Amino acid sequence: MSASTEAFLAMLAAERGAARNTLAAYRRDLAQAEEAIGDLAIVDRDAVASLAGEWAGLAPASVARKASVLRQFFGFAIDEGWRRDDPSGALPTLRTRRPLPKVLGHDQIAALFARAEEEAAGDDPRAVRLLALIELLYGSGLRASELVELPLVAVPRDAPFLTITGKGGTTRLVPVGARALAALARWLALRPALPASRYLFPSGTKGTGGQHLTRVRLFQLLKALAGRAGIDPAQISPHVLRHAFATHLLEGGADLRVLQTLLGHADIATTQIYTHVDSARLVALVNSCHPLATRATSD
């Protein structure tokens, strides 16, 4: 990659606190663009326009993401004095609808937890660990990366809260319910003693050094559990359980601002996507509480 794109990524990390996964995705997009048209700090508008052909076979969301990254880069290049022109107008301008999140129903959540609790009835460390993992995913709405990277010291002692370091290095307090606390207590009693590991969920239950459980392994464990619970594994992921946490809280009457804080969203517009699942309750609320609801309709 060119020095200019490396400088751009360094700025994102230092000044905007971009998350590691975001930086990795941006790096891939920028590297692919440079491979196709050359150094982005000096390419002309026609070269930038040719990227539309390079991206022709991609999904609209992927094209939108790549174009967004390049627009940010070109703005940075102008600020740094590397370019006098802004060629971003030659990029595709697709408008994509944000997909609605997948959500598990209450019956599916019940089946998933029933299976996990049944398997964790004994002292099998792997089964108890999995129960603790899904309790935190659904009970506290953690992101997969936040969960697997939880340090051992994050386990609540005096108050039922976890201190979570989320996207961009921001921290937030997340409440931990009684069920999750009980599952964590069981896991800590069985967790292998690993002086080298500072993580709550180290990789392996017999100890394989100082690494934590990977996100990929968490996906695999959850999908396998879903299959054993009679749920289509394609319907479930750690993020789907996070969505279920948010959706079911809204159904129960949670405030959207509170939910924003719990989920660690910087922009409430991100949280508002969950309101689609609560439309039936909102309609019922209007029909029962609006002053006109009690007035008889005219013949």
- 144 and 58 inside one domain: no
- 44 and 149 inside one domain: no
Could you report the per-residue pLDDT of 115-150, keeping only the tens digit for each?
999 999 988 999 999 999 999 888 888 888 888 888
Q: How many domains does the chain have?
A: 2
Question: Does residue 290 fall inside a structural domain?
Answer: no
Question: Does residue 101 fall inside a structural domain?
Answer: no
Could you report the per-residue pLDDT of 83-92, keeping only the tens digit for each?
889 998 888 8
- 63 and 147 inside one domain: no
What average pLDDT is seen over the chain? Answer: 81
- 222 and 259 inside one domain: yes
Question: Does residue 157 fall inside a structural domain?
Answer: yes
102 is catalytic: no
**Which of 90, 118, 144 delimits the end of a domain?**
90
223 is catalytic: no
Q: Tell me what pLDDT residue 195 has.
A: 58
Question: Does residue 86 fall inside a structural domain?
Answer: yes
* Spatial distance between the Cα atoms of 282 and 226, rounded to a whole number of angstroms: 31
- 115 and 79 inside one domain: no
206 is catalytic: no
CATH code, domain carrying 199? 1.10.443.10
- 132 and 269 inside one domain: yes
Q: Tell me what pLDDT residue 35 has.
A: 92
Could you say which of 27, 102, 217, 239 is catalytic?
Answer: 239
Angle, to 10 degrees, between the axis of helix 215-228 and the axis of helix 125-140?
Answer: 100
- The greatest distance separating any two alpha carbons of the chain, rounded to the nearest whole angstrom, comes to 78
Question: Does residue 298 fall inside a structural domain?
Answer: no
Please say whether the dihedral angle defined by the alpha carbons of residues 169, 175, 177 and 181, taken in this order, is positive or negative. Answer: positive
Q: Tell me what pLDDT residue 142 has.
A: 82
265 is catalytic: yes
Could you say which of 66, 186, 242, 248 is catalytic?
Answer: 242
143 is catalytic: yes
* Spatial distance between the Cα atoms of 190 and 184, rounded to a whole number of angstroms: 10
- 111 and 235 inside one domain: yes
- 165 and 265 inside one domain: yes
276 is catalytic: no
**Where in the sequence is the domain holding 16, given as residue range(s)?**
3-90
Question: Does residue 73 fall inside a structural domain?
Answer: yes
CATH code, domain carrying 19? 1.10.150.130
- 77 and 218 inside one domain: no
Question: Does residue 262 fall inside a structural domain?
Answer: yes
Question: Does residue 98 fall inside a structural domain?
Answer: no
- 61 and 178 inside one domain: no
Decide if 277 contacts 250 (C-beta within 8 A).
yes
- 123 and 264 inside one domain: yes
The DSSP H or E segment spanning 161 is strand 161-165
- 24 and 80 inside one domain: yes
Q: Which residues of the chain have pLDDT under 70?
A: 16, 94-103, 159, 166-169, 193-196, 204-210, 254-256, 258-259, 261, 264-286, 289-290, 292-299
Nearest to 20 by CA among 149, 142, 140: 149
166's tokens: 């989320």
Could you say which of 27, 71, 167, 198 is catalytic?
Answer: 167
Q: Tell me what pLDDT residue 127 has.
A: 94
